[in-house]
Amino acid sequence: MNKYELCIVVSAKIEEDERIGRVDSCKALIERFGGQITNVDEWGKKRLAYEIQKMKEGYYYFVQFDAPSTAPAEIESRIRIMDNVIRYLCVKQDQT
């Protein structure tokens, strides 16, 4: 099992219930592919560095999890097609 961190930027134009549902579905994907969530850090609404799809703000979430090495590719391929997720990035953390 490797340690990973998934950053998700969700659209600020949607309702809170839908936004929370989108993050929960990302967490469910992690667990579906054998991952175990260790921490979820919600940064809240932040200004984007540049305009994306005519949006200037988004909600940032950082999910840290342990998973097999095949999981990140599967998770990213499913997040890529999710509505209202405007950016995502999954990185492997150092084993220090």
Extents of the domains making up the chain: 2-92
Q: Render each residue's pLDDT in the chain as its tens digit; 96 residues.
A: 899 999 999 999 999 999 999 999 999 999 999 999 999 999 999 999 999 989 999 999 999 999 999 999 999 999 999 989 999 999 999 876
Quote the pLDDT of residue 31. 93
Q: Give the pTM.
A: 0.88
The answer to whether the Cα torsion of 6, 2, 75, 70 is positive or negative is positive
Quote the pLDDT of residue 5. 95
With contact defined as beta carbons under 8 Å apart, do 67 and 38 qualify? no
Neighbours of 46 (CB within 10 A): 12
H or E segment and range at residue 21? helix 16-32
CATH superfamily for 2-92 is Ribosomal protein S6/Translation elongation factor EF1B (3.30.70.60)
Quote the pLDDT of residue 95. 73
d(CA 60, CA 52): 14
Quote the pLDDT of residue 68. 92
Quote the pLDDT of residue 96. 61
Half-sphere exposure at residue 7, Cβ-oriented, CA atoms within 13 angstroms: 10
Question: How does DSSP classify residue 14?
Answer: S
d(CA 54, CA 78): 23
